[in-house]
Amino acid sequence: MLAVYVTWPQGLYLYSTVTQHPDTFFSMWRLSWFAHALQTDPRHLFDGNIYYPELRTLAYSDATLLQGALGAPLLWVGAPPTLVYNLLFILGIAGSGVAMFALAHHLVGSARAALVAAAAFTLAPYRPLHFMHLELQWMMWIPLALLALHRTIEERSWRAAVLTGICLWLQVLSCVYYGIFLSVALAVVGTILLATNMRRAAGVLPLLVLAAVVAAVLTIPYAQPYVANAKALGERTLDEVYRFSASPLSYVTWPKTNRWFGWTAVRFQGEELRLAPGIVATVLALVSLFVQRRKTLWIYLALCVLTIELSFGMNGHLYPLVRAVAAPFRNLRAPARFSVIALCALAVLAAFGVEWLERRLAGHRRSHWLVAAIIAAMIIEMAPLPLPLTTVPLAQPPLYRYIAHSGPAVVADFPMPSPIDVQRFDPYYEFYSRHHWRPLINGYSGYYSNAHFKVVEAMVGFPDDVSMEQLRALNVRWVVIHEHLYKPSEFIDLLIRIAPRRDLRSHGAFGDWQGSAQLFELSR
């Protein structure tokens, strides 16, 4: 129920309505491509149909393989991508809360305190901050991996060690960012646990090595296309990393979707820098620090402080050092997302605070209302404004039916993005290409290659000779002009400029997902 609340009113419109953001359409394309590629050519799973003729384009962003594997059977039996996306989105949030309950219950020993930790993790303002990012809602493997790590050390269990490695791997498959961050969290918590109990170190160290080996063996195949892309595309620029680096003010700034505190969002223009963790959870965590003396509490305090510092990215002290020595960090754009580990640690600290309050109020006639009152306060505090939704047409448009039945061909959708706005309408072209799965020279993802920028620049004067030469070089056959994406005067002017060209043969007007589109065939 909390997952439905934090995404309100999405839970009422699961079948054909999604959150109104380009990244939502990108995620639905990823899920659809995964299901399509598994059925047709699994060997080229990572060679998405975007940015033709570039390779490994699914790995230009997070491939979300785990979500793809869960969603594929539903897509194969005919479920619409909107429904599959929404179910996976809510499952990611709810699953994270359940996982946090398991970790907090193990560490604190109180089911009611664990419920508060689960609520804090589920309702965190970070959730609506990333209402457009499917992969960033899938953080359940973070608490589960930490739980398995604790059991590995406490029980000297090789099964728990293997589970630790598997959980880390599953987090990588769910969200590469979080997988990298989780590896840091496991290293920090494991090191402190061993350092504070040297008698166990000799017996436990081989188990931790086993966990690392399991995670590495499972992850290396998945990492290969990312490694290849890193060499081909280069590292993230420092300008990008600075733009997505948090600051201390980020942690008192709420997402604009919060009903009570959204006004603080004016502090930052960047959506990813509004990282307020929640007042109730923070107060409970502070209570635990003043009244508890348990070792585990101080370990999670250290983890919280460390990952907040790392979330400062290039504005901090540690992240530049880590980025300099660890290659995976040089391909990450948003250090602010490190805050998810801090949220996990904060939820654990809040559970310790609740456990102390429970003991203090033991025997009081109204003590059983404590947890209900705390969770109610969290629900009120996190009250979201309704997420912006859009209805997605599910039927195959006539335009894409025609292209699908016309044989293999490369497609170019217009209007093309501009060199200063490389996103524009490409997320929608990308998503609706699921109706024909022909290669597109268009694309929308986490990276844009230099080759794609050159294509975009060449298209500025379309249909001039430079653009036509570039289209032929890319083996484009179908040129699609989406009328409803132009101003009427611009559309008419474009058709007037196309008319004299004998190398563009009109196949007429067809309905696309929203209006009408002109289809032209480019002669070779």
Q: What is the pLDDT of residues 39-70, one digit of tens each?
A: 999 999 999 999 999 999 999 999 999 999 99
Burial (CB count within 10 angstroms: exposed 0-12, middle 13-18, buried 19+), residue 46: buried
474-486 pLDDT, tens digit each = 999 999 999 999 9
Q: List the alpha helices (DSSP H) in 196-294.
A: 198-233, 238-243, 279-291
* Closest among 264, 243, 269 to 253, alpha carbons compared: 264
CB atoms within 10 A of CB 398: 15
> 176-195 and 141-155 helices cross at what angle (nearest 10)?
30
High-pLDDT (> 70) share of the chain, %: 98
| Torsion region of 241: left, alpha or beta (phi above 0 gives left; psi -120 to 50 gives alpha) | alpha
Tokens standing for 45? 């799973």
| Distance of alpha carbon 216 from alpha carbon 168, whole angstroms | 9
Q: Is 463 helix (H, G, I), strand (E, B) or coil?
A: coil
Q: Is the confidence at residue 414, as pLDDT, over 90? A: yes
Residue keyed to tokens 């309100």: 8
- The mean predicted confidence, pLDDT, of the chain is 95
Largest CA distance in the chain: 89
Secondary structure (DSSP) of 254-265:
--TTBTTTGGGG
The domain spans of the chain are 2-381, 398-522
Q: Is the pLDDT of residue 366 over 90?
A: no
CA distances from residue 37 to 19, 47, 120, 488 in whole angstroms, order as listed = 25, 9, 38, 38
- At residue 318, the pLDDT reads 97
By residue count, the chain amounts to 524
508 has which bridge partners?
A: 519
Per-residue confidence (pLDDT) for residue 238, from 0 to 100: 94
3-state secondary structure string, 119-150?
HHHHHCCHHHHCCCCCHHHCCCHHHHHHHHHH
Whole-number pLDDT of residue 386: 92
Q: Which SS3 state, helix, strand or coil, does residue 353 take?
A: helix
Average pLDDT over residues 157-180: 98
- Would the pLDDT of 305 be above 80? yes
DSSP string for residues in 8-49: TTGGG-TTTEEESSHHHHHHHHHHHHHHHHHHH-GGGTT--S
| Position 294 pLDDT exceeds 90 | no
Instruction: Spell out the residues 6+ positions from residue 221 whose beta carbon is closer than 8 angstroms to its own.
Output: none
Which stretch of 146-160, 362-376, 421-435 has the lowest confidence by average pLDDT? Answer: 362-376
| Sequence letter at residue 363 | G
User: Pairing between strand 476-482 and 410-414?
Assistant: parallel
Q: At what angle do helices 141-155 and 81-108 cross, to 10 degrees?
A: 30
What pLDDT shows up at residue 271? 76
Burial of 7 (0-12, 13-18, 19+ CB in 10 A): buried
- Please report the pLDDT score of residue 285 as a whole number: 97
pLDDT given for residue 422 in this prediction? 67
pLDDT at 477: 98
User: How sure is the predictor about 199, in pLDDT bands with cuts at 50, 70 and 90?
Assistant: confident
Instruction: With H, G, I as helix, E, B as strand and everything else as coil, classify residue 375.
Output: helix
Task: Say if residue 432's pLDDT is above 80.
Answer: yes
Looking at the predicted structure, is the pLDDT value of residue 399 above 90?
Answer: yes
Mean pLDDT, residues 369-392: 94
Q: What pLDDT digit, counting tens, does each position of 100-112 carry?
A: 999 999 999 999 9
* pLDDT of amino acid 383: 94
Mean pLDDT to the nearest integer, 86-90 = 97
- Separation between Cα atoms, residue 496 and residue 333, nearest integer Å: 43
CA distance 150 to 129: 30
At residue 117 the predicted structure's pLDDT band, cuts being 50, 70 and 90, is: very high
